[in-house]
Structure 1
Amino acid sequence: MKHSMLTYYREKQLNMESETIFETQCPFCSMQCKKQVIEQKYGKRKRYVTRGVDNPTTQGRLCIKGMNAYQHAVHKDRLTEPMMKKNGEFVPVSWEEALELIRRKFTLIQKQSGSDSLGVYGSASITNEESYLLGKLARVGLQTKHIDYNGRFCMASAATAGKAVLGIDRGLTSSLHEIPEAECLILAGTNIAECQPTMMPYFEEARQKGAYIIVIDPRETETAAMADLHLKVKPGRDAALANTMIKVLFQEGLVDEKFVKNKTNGFGDLKKHIEKMDLEAAAESTGVPLKDIAKAAKVFGKAGSGMVFTARGIEQQTDGHMTVRNFLNLVLLTGKIGRKGCGYGAVTGQGNGQGGREHGQKCDQLPGYRSIESREDREYISRVWGIEEKDLPGKGVSAYEMMEKVHEKEIKGMFLMCSNPVVSNPNAGFVKEALGKLDFFVAADLFMSETAVLADLVLPAASYLEDEGTMTNVEGRVTLREASRKPAGNSRRDWEIICDVARVMGKGEFFSYTSAEEIFDELRTASRGGAADYYGMTYERLRTEKGILWPCPDTKHPGTVRLFEKEFAHEDKRALLTPVTNEAEVAKEEPTAAYPLYLTTGRVASHYLTGVQTRKSSNLAARFFESFMEMHPETAEKYGIPEGELVEVQSRRGSIVVRSVFTEKIREDTIFVPFHWAEQQNVNMLIPKDLDPICRMPGYKSSAVCVKRYNPEAKARSV
């Protein structure tokens, strides 16, 4: 048998007609692992092999998603022609006909209802060049204030908190390479083992060196399994948990008073707030024993070095912004920032979650992390773009609020790029209904997603193997993604599509680019002097140095590995401590008799976002081909829920049907459902529309639900 297999592979090798190597990087999570995809041709058949490539972030490691990402790029269902909806059916049309339709429809909508009647909806998975260009398209090409993106649901809490407290929002305040130097690590609401698997070796190395690891999560995840202490917090009670830890720091004399005095503002107000707080009541509200919280605080406070990482578990709340600020309070009170083995990390989810929020896709933002409400920033970007400052639109609204304006018919036309809001948004049924009200809807994507099918026109985009550009990873390291594969069929690169739309809208003179590198050179200038300064980076440098950490203000600058060594990024050079209440300003849903359980959501290792790409990969889809609900066995017994069967999960917004999975690794008052599936399994159908008052983040991670046996006949009658 062994001999026959060897013979088989030798024959395949001999029969191979050609081999093409595509240098690229994984399109999925924020680690942005470098790799090669090797296309081997055997007559009419093709075979693909993936191998990791050494790089500063992951040293050639790949996870299961990275190994199989080529499958969606070469999938037979790829869109290869513009598709126009005629009489309710999609038919292929030429690019000329598609673009003429956009010109005619968008022009008519704006003539009848004004410039702001168009909306642009972007993505944190597109390149920096395309993020930059999409913001420019909205404000120069379409002259609308309405632009936002799906990163609003990923990084908004951490981004606004980092900027408010530290003066700069960069994923990590130091490098991943400093993780093994930390004596204590706190991971709050982050399941790195499944979301960023190639980051795990840093934590494993830290543990081998003796680091004490604390994980805060309602579930005992694969990440929590490595922890020395797991705080199984009640969903939505993370701010109270951080306050409890802070009170213990004060009681135990573990506040670094010299650091606080010399480098922060707001200490007095925070101290008064904590002194008034009832320690036992705060701890009780978290669902975690006080002794465990106290132990976590004392270990972190006494450690000579330490880092805090946050992610969606604490951020996707209606008090996500303030909760992150409270964990930053922990970092600042102990002086653990700006030196070796210390710092804060916001574990970005999407592939370009960091870069996607730096260069103009957010409604309140201009390139380089500039503010659209700052006269100085507006004047600078207007000069770069060659327009008058008065012609630059003002601030729009967040992603979900755009959908509300669509519902109200204030926004009547939309251009959407590489996003799937009918699955990813909260209150997803409302969003789907809203998009159906648009007078004209254009989507650009690889596949006919659940959102694209609602469009009047779908434009075929290029895959990651075909679309060159820069991405900014979880550290804030800018990397260059090479992409030498020819776009499939008549698909076009995202930046080319953006330029095409601008051209037919009469703004071609501002979008006359011939390459991604040319766009990046303009981005460099646009970011110059801003918080996220890329000016010193070039494609040549990025190729040679394998990535550069921003800020990088000139071409001789090596990039900034560790932020805040001497000072913070506020005008007075100090960080800001802030009192944070235990209760959210926007009330969260609490369990009731009708809806007695908390629902929390998250990822699984083999899928990504709404699953549009990963569900096209047979190797990934086979691992999780349907959604599921995790429930504690005792909870299941209490409510008569069978194991391994379809169950109905209901909230005040609607219901979904998923398969039950029993596990003792989850709190008895909580269920978990992943968010990678659509339609009847779309957990975001259950999520409230309430938003964080500061960053406009929805509360994905704590809503009230009930679970019951699935009765298809009763379900059919209710429909």
Structure 2
Amino acid sequence: MSELLLKYFRDQQKKIQSERVYDTQCPYCSMQCKMQLIEQTVVSRKQYKTVGKDNPTSQGRLCIKGLNAHQHALHRSRLKQPLKKVDGDFVPITWPEALELIAKNVNEIQAIEGKDALSVYGSASITNEEAYLLGKFARVGLGTKYIDYNGRLCMGAAATGANQTFGMDRGFTNTIEEIPHTRCIILAGTNIAECQPTIMPYFERAKENGAYIIAIDPRETKTTKIADLHLKNKPGTDVAIANSLLKVIIDHGLTDEQFLTSRTNGFEQVKQHLLAIDLNQTSEQTGVPVDQLIQAATIFGKEESGMIFTARGIEQQLDGTAAVRSFLNILLATGKIGVPNSGYGAVTGQGNGQGAREHGQKADQLPGYRSIENTEHRAYIANVWGIPENELPRKGVSAYEMFEKIDQGDITGMFIMCSNPVVSNPNANFVKKALEKLKFLVVADMFLSDTAKLADLVLPATSYLEDEGTMTNVEGRVMLREATFPVQGEAKHDWQIICEIAKAIGRGKYFSYQSAEEIFEELRIASKGGIADYHGITYDRLRHEQGVLWPCPTPEHPSTKRLFEYSFAHPDGKAKMVFFANESSPPKPRPDSDYPLILTTGRVMSHYLTGEQTRKSHSLAAQNVEAFMEIHPDTATRYNLKEQALVKIESAYGEIIVRSKWSTTIRKDTVFVPFHWTDSQNVNKLVSNQLDPFCRMPGFKVSAVKVSPVN
């Protein structure tokens, strides 16, 4: 090395006056990649970069979102003190003033209208400790039955489908490390290459090892490009696809009769219904050629091992639960579950989409995946919480239905934590109008989101860099997120906010925690004996083992790598198979002369959820500065739409304006718009208010629309 180069390195080293390293986890998708933020002080100026850290799930990999996550956490527009709305404008106030305002409004509303006049709207991005505490706060602090969370819009169908079929729901039934060794993979409605990029190497290795990959998606995506066979179906026809695949498997004698007899109930009834299905009619309905249906089914049926992964593409529909269960029927019929290299994966969307639904944020759920309507479950949790069982509220309603309750006047106050429902919910215009009717709205967030702008009071929350706690990732692995970065301004951790509000309204004795770990210790007890049993997990163990797969009932338990090896979680130990007709009930929006096209939605790699965080990252915002409508050139020509021109999209529920983006890889009857933008670009303004009858999931993925140029 030359003297000149050595001098340069010595000079650069002198400029770095100090360096600090902060361990953390990515705040975005369900992979929950471990990483470190490196802070360097160079000539009195701080510089930051993020690097990956080895762990069992993502093995040190990071995607573009994780590499730039710190940009939003350090953004100048972070909320750093409580804000009160006065005459339409926000003014800073102290925490004591904020808490006094909350107590005053809570007491007044409940004194006049009852406890259920208040509601809580939670999040699948907060830690397990905070999800647990938020559920306890609603039921013990406020005494209300009205609590639900934004994970209802994400994992509702997958969770319900797995619970109904298997008796329990853990996103992956086996570990992520088995993926490279399976022989056939079905990716149904999942674009993992853009939504969970760091999981892609597992599927790429499977392909290198000879696995046959089948993708089911109306669009060609970065994910479908790795597939050997792409079933490019019409949006909303996933139940019909699953039924036709299972029919072929049965007709070709590819079922596992021994497994069906000993491990399942209901197969004969399913088989009888499938006999009446005509593949030619299915082909016409779905837009998938018969030979492709046969090819996909026979390959999956013949291979010795296989996995099926589902995501929002098939789940965010009015028959999302039916679609999930119909694909699970295929696994059960071929015996490809509970054995090595075979199983089901619900590709969780949000960072803690798995853990956040296990410990009490859902309207009908108590910690440990217990049922709020089960007498034994109620008694156990009431005992843990130190209250009489009869003081525990009964179940409330789903996330969107809470806004209907607001519109009807049943709910007049709401506390929202780490969520932006004005943008993320269906029929978004209605949701905004409902929130504007509230007598009192409190929002805890990092930024002044579209939802926070409607609030009477906004509370500043900490970021992933500052807030320690556990998260449960896509494969059901509980991980400890270390967080030692200095808290920004007067922001508080979500669990601290909950505890201080509880104290302010006179319920502090139930919320006297001093750390996230202390909350987790109570969560361990509350989950003990439940389906999602965390009792054997401790912070020390998580640090030592880099995560533990639940259920883990005792500290000595090795953690559960594969579910259902010997029995399913129903009382009789068997899985339940049920047939669902190809036509959904309630019926999905259909194209007609007024609204001739099908709209479907999804993500782009550089953004996350409503974009509130990623748009604060200049590196991410530069990748996609605005929403767009992907449309086939032939379709665009038919409606006089030019490439890169502004276009109006209208449904029966609203309208938006975005820029057209021509693509020859999308179906000619379908348009696609990502859901990360707000205001006039918020695609959820076009989505109907209908819900899946089982899980209450909105039908985001199928809307009937019309398009026209903006002159």
TM-score bin, normalised by smaller chain: over 0.9
2:409 corresponds to: 409
Q: Which amino acid in structure 1 is aligned with residue 358 of structure 2?
A: E
1:276 corresponds to: 276
TM-superposition CA deviations, 1:556-597 (whole Å, max 9, x none): 001000001111111100001111110111110010111110
Instruction: State the Cα distance separating 1:210 from its structure 2 match.
Output: 0.2
C-alpha contact (below 8 Å) 1:284/1:290 kept by paired residues: no
Q: Does 1:395 align with 2:400?
A: no
Q: Partners of 2:465 and 2:92 in 1: how far apart?
A: 24
2:484 corresponds to: 484
Q: Which amino acid in structure 2 is aligned with residue 429 of structure 1?
A: N
Q: Partners of 1:16 and 1:96 in 2: how far apart?
A: 41
Q: 1:78 to 1:213 in 2, by over 3 A?
A: same
1:152 corresponds to: 152
Q: Partners of 1:496 and 1:184 in 2: how far apart?
A: 47
2:530 corresponds to: 530
Q: Partners of 2:494 and 2:11 in 1: how far apart?
A: 41
Q: 1:4 to 1:656 in 2, by over 3 A?
A: farther
1:225 corresponds to: 225
Q: Partners of 1:10 and 1:417 in 2: how far apart?
A: 48
1:577 corresponds to: 577
Instruction: State the Cα distance separating 1:332 from its structure 2 match.
Output: 0.3
| Partner SS state of residue 543, structure 1 | helix
| Partner SS state of residue 629, structure 2 | strand
Q: Does 1:651 align with 2:651?
A: yes
2:259 corresponds to: 259
TM-score (norm 1): 0.98
2:617 corresponds to: 617
Q: Partners of 1:227 and 1:3 in 2: how far apart?
A: 53
Q: 1:10 to 1:72 in 2, by over 3 A?
A: farther
Matches within 5 A, 1:580-591: 580-591=580-591
Q: Partners of 1:110 and 1:6 in 2: how far apart?
A: 71
Q: Which amino acid in structure 1 is aligned with residue 372 of structure 2?
A: I
* Displaced runs of 4 or more, over 6 A: 2-9
Structure 1 spans left out of the alignment, 5+ residues = 712-719
| Partner SS state of residue 17, structure 1 | strand
Q: Partners of 1:649 and 1:52 in 2: how far apart?
A: 40
Q: 1:6 to 1:36 in 2, by over 3 A?
A: farther
Instruction: State the Cα distance separating 1:3 from its structure 2 match.
Output: 11
C-alpha contact (below 8 Å) 1:240/1:283 kept by paired residues: no
| Partner SS state of residue 193, structure 1 | helix
Matches within 5 A, 1:79-228: 79-228=79-228
2:328 corresponds to: 328
Instruction: State the Cα distance separating 1:20 from its structure 2 match.
Output: 1.1
Structure 2 spans left out of the alignment, 5+ residues = none
| Partner SS state of residue 157, structure 1 | helix
Q: Which amino acid in structure 2 is aligned with residue 511 of structure 1?
A: F
Q: 1:402 to 1:10 in 2, by over 3 A?
A: farther
| Partner SS state of residue 656, structure 2 | strand
| Partner SS state of residue 162, structure 1 | helix
Instruction: State the Cα distance separating 1:276 from its structure 2 match.
Output: 2.0
Q: 1:483 to 1:263 in 2, by over 3 A?
A: same
| Partner SS state of residue 506, structure 2 | helix
2:382 corresponds to: 382
Q: Partners of 1:529 and 1:509 in 2: how far apart?
A: 26
Q: 1:9 to 1:155 in 2, by over 3 A?
A: farther
Q: Does 1:669 align with 2:669?
A: yes
| Partner SS state of residue 110, structure 1 | helix
TM-superposition CA deviations, 1:228-272 (whole Å, max 9, x none): 000001000000011111111111111111110110000111111
1:312 corresponds to: 312
| Partner SS state of residue 612, structure 1 | coil
Q: Partners of 1:161 and 1:209 in 2: how far apart?
A: 31
Instruction: State the Cα distance separating 1:13 from its structure 2 match.
Output: 2.9
C-alpha contact (below 8 Å) 1:31/1:198 kept by paired residues: yes
Q: Which amino acid in structure 1 is aligned with residue 701 of structure 2?
A: K
C-alpha contact (below 8 Å) 1:158/1:324 kept by paired residues: yes
Q: Partners of 1:43 and 1:467 in 2: how far apart?
A: 29
638-647 or 677-686, larger mean C-alpha shift: 638-647
Matches within 5 A, 1:297-696: 297-696=297-696
Instruction: State the Cα distance separating 1:277 from its structure 2 match.
Output: 2.1
Q: Partners of 2:9 and 2:116 in 1: how far apart?
A: 60
Q: 1:225 to 1:113 in 2, by over 3 A?
A: same
Q: Which amino acid in structure 2 is aligned with residue 351 of structure 1?
A: G
Q: Partners of 1:397 and 1:662 in 2: how far apart?
A: 41
Instruction: State the Cα distance separating 1:8 from its structure 2 match.
Output: 6.8
| Partner SS state of residue 178, structure 1 | helix
Q: Partners of 2:9 and 2:607 in 1: how far apart?
A: 31
Q: Partners of 2:238 and 2:411 in 1: how far apart?
A: 36
Q: Partners of 1:174 and 1:389 in 2: how far apart?
A: 36
TM-superposition CA deviations, 1:292-312 (whole Å, max 9, x none): 011000000001000000000
Q: Partners of 1:358 and 1:644 in 2: how far apart?
A: 44
Q: Partners of 2:631 and 2:539 in 1: how far apart?
A: 49
| Partner SS state of residue 567, structure 1 | coil
TM-superposition CA deviations, 1:115-160 (whole Å, max 9, x none): 0000100000000000000000000000000000000000000001
Q: Partners of 1:179 and 1:613 in 2: how far apart?
A: 31
Calculate percent identity across the aligned residue pairs: 61
C-alpha contact (below 8 Å) 1:188/1:309 kept by paired residues: yes
Q: Partners of 1:299 and 1:672 in 2: how far apart?
A: 30
Q: Partners of 1:594 and 1:16 in 2: how far apart?
A: 64
| Partner SS state of residue 609, structure 2 | coil
Q: 1:18 to 1:304 in 2, by over 3 A?
A: same
Q: Partners of 2:269 and 2:161 in 1: how far apart?
A: 18
Q: Partners of 1:62 and 1:10 in 2: how far apart?
A: 30
2:75 corresponds to: 75
1:714 corresponds to: none
Q: Partners of 2:363 and 2:41 in 1: how far apart?
A: 46
Instruction: State the Cα distance separating 1:413 from its structure 2 match.
Output: 0.4
Q: Which amino acid in structure 1 is aligned with residue 450 of structure 2?
A: E
Instruction: State the Cα distance separating 1:11 from its structure 2 match.
Output: 3.6
TM-superposition CA deviations, 1:161-212 (whole Å, max 9, x none): 1011001100100000000111000000000000000000000000000000
Instruction: State the Cα distance separating 1:43 from its structure 2 match.
Output: 4.2
1:238 corresponds to: 238
C-alpha contact (below 8 Å) 1:182/1:305 kept by paired residues: yes
| Partner SS state of residue 536, structure 2 | coil
Q: Partners of 1:307 and 1:376 in 2: how far apart?
A: 36
Q: Partners of 1:625 and 1:640 in 2: how far apart?
A: 24
Q: Partners of 2:238 and 2:19 in 1: how far apart?
A: 52
Q: Which amino acid in structure 2 is aligned with residue 198 of structure 1?
A: T
Q: 1:646 to 1:248 in 2, by over 3 A?
A: same
1:19 corresponds to: 19
Q: Which amino acid in structure 2 is aligned with residue 31 of structure 1?
A: M
| Partner SS state of residue 705, structure 1 | strand
Instruction: State the Cα distance separating 1:17 from its structure 2 match.
Output: 1.9
1:717 corresponds to: none
TM-superposition CA deviations, 1:6-38 (whole Å, max 9, x none): 977754431222111110010000000000001
Q: Partners of 1:223 and 1:8 in 2: how far apart?
A: 44
C-alpha contact (below 8 Å) 1:423/1:684 kept by paired residues: yes
Instruction: State the Cα distance separating 1:100 from its structure 2 match.
Output: 0.2
| Partner SS state of residue 415, structure 1 | strand
Q: Partners of 2:338 and 2:654 in 1: how far apart?
A: 47
TM-superposition CA deviations, 1:313-340 (whole Å, max 9, x none): 0000000001100000000000000111
Q: 1:446 to 1:690 in 2, by over 3 A?
A: same
